[in-house]
Amino acid sequence: MKKVFDPRSTWFHKVNLWLDLGFQGAETDYACKSNIHLPYKRPRKSKKNPDAKLTAAQEKHNRSHAKTRVPVEHAIGGMKTFHCLMHRIRNHLDSIIDSIFWIPAGLWNLKIS
> How would you class 37 by CB atoms within 10 Å of its CB: exposed for 0-12, middle for 13-18, buried for 19 or more?
middle
Q: What value does the mean pLDDT take over residues 11-24?
A: 81
pLDDT category at 62 given cuts 50, 70, 90 is very high
pLDDT digits (tens, 9 = 90+) for 23-54: 888 878 877 767 888 899 888 888 888 888 99
83 — alpha (psi -120 to 50), left (phi > 0) or beta? left
Q: Please tell me whether the overall predicted TM-score, pTM, comes out greater than 0.85 for this model.
A: no
Q: Strand, helix or coil at 85? A: coil
The residue type at 108: W
Mean pLDDT of the chain: 84
Ordered by start, the domain boundaries in the chain are 1-38, 54-112
